[in-house]
Amino acid sequence: MTTTTDHPTTVPPIDEAALMDFVFRAVGEVGATLNCALVVMGDRLGYYRALAGHGPLAAARLAELTGTGERYAAEWLNAQAAGGFVEYDPDSGTYTLPAEHAVALTDETSPAFLPGFFQIAFGTVCDAPRIFDLARDGDGLGWGDHNSDVHDGCERFFRPGYATNLVSTWLPALDGVVDKLERGARVHDLGAGHGSSTILMAQAYPASTFVGSDAHAASVATARQRAVDAGLGADRIGFEVTPATGTTGGPYDLVTTFDALHDMGDPVGAARRVHDLLADDGTWMVVEPAAGDRIEDNLNPIGRAYYGFSTLLCTPSSLSQDVGLAIGTQAGPARINDIVTAAGFSRFRIAAQTPFNNVLEIRK
């Protein structure tokens, strides 16, 4: 006879009100998931721009202005009204995009511009089934293996914040860096992506020279074209395809890394490479997603979004590379400090912060 000492699990009593509260909150989550695609749709089809430019609109007029089907416009408007993105007037049957929402949804120069954030989320979710399969064995998926909405959305989300803060606030927060840039410095932008950050710095400091590098060849090709479009010659700026641990050149007066260190498979190796290439009095500016050092510091709306990206995008990217340290999007300043200290750096501080970023100053 077989006996067991296991005891039946005691099921706690169910609070029906709490259960239904969670169910309705989950319904809201489904609506929010669908709205991610609807925001991309509104951005891509010009719905938001038409509403911003023409005031209250009925569905038929929105469809006419955007050259789209009326039934799509009508259902899209109703979904946006239900989610509080637009306001509906039942007396006139028209929909209004509030002025503040118009800034966030149509003004690509504003640091509050959001469609890029939705676009990278949309692209990430579209690729999620691949991550589900890879997660079983702990394998990764490279940044370059994602769809273009991930790459384009990333640039569209981060670029307005860089344009607002990089030259005006972040670089001046570093000790002595602006003076070097104004006199003429050698700068390397590590993990440059489409080159937005590199180009912004090159435009602001004509006496300095800039090199941007990235492991993703298609992003580097885009960056090169963006530099040409910005009127920057090869004597001022260049881009190269290389992994972070294979960066060349130097000595550099300034190395920058924007929202990329946590994506690297071997951030310690990359930090060692920066240490080798940096001038003795040089500075490494690392811009990382806003995060605290403890999990409980990040249990908020921004942390929730970043943990989501970390699970489906950034951690798989790191795991796809050699070492695969996978520190995560919410690593926090203390974890970054551990990494750069292991690489030989001795000075580290938080130089500036925004709701979306920590700006770190690292020196030998």
57-103 pLDDT, tens digit per residue, is 999 999 999 999 999 999 999 999 999 999 999 999 999 999 999 99
Q: Which residue intervals of the chain are DSSP H helices?
A: 16-45, 47-54, 59-66, 70-82, 99-106, 115-126, 128-135, 148-165, 177-183, 196-204, 217-229, 267-277, 301-309, 315-319, 333-342
Confidence check: pLDDT of 7 > 90 = no
Distance, in Å, from the CA atom of 210 to the CA atom of 202, rounded to the nearest integer, reads 7
Confidence check: pLDDT of 272 > 50 = yes
Confidence check: pLDDT of 1 > 60 = no
CA-based radius of gyration for the chain: 24
Give the contacts of 23 (CB within 8 A, at least 6 positions apart): none
**Percentage of the chain modeled with pLDDT above 90:** 96
Please choose, from the candidates 331, 325, 322, 319, the residue with its C-alpha nearest in 3D space to the C-alpha of residue 138. 319
184 pLDDT tier (thresholds 50, 70, 90): very high
Asked whether 62 and 50 are in contact (CB, 8 A), the reply is yes
Structure confidence at residue 10 (pLDDT)? 79
Structure confidence at residue 3 (pLDDT)? 47
Q: Hey, what amino acid is at 76?
A: W
Read off the pLDDT of residues 140-150 as tens digits, 9 standing for 90 and up. 999 999 999 99
Mean confidence (pLDDT) of the chain: 95
If you average pLDDT over residues 112-120, what whole number do you get?
A: 97
Domain architecture of the chain: domains with CATH: 16-106 (1.10.10.10), 123-363 (3.40.50.150)
Read off the pLDDT of residues 208-226 as tens digits, 9 standing for 90 and up. 999 999 999 999 999 999 9
Distance, in Å, from the CA atom of 304 to the CA atom of 284, rounded to the nearest integer, reads 28
pTM: 0.92
Cis omega before residue 129 (within 30°)? no
Q: Are strands 278-289 and 237-241 parallel, antiparallel or unpaired?
A: unpaired
Where does residue 339 rank: exposed (0-12), middle (13-18), buried (19+ CB within 10 A)?
buried
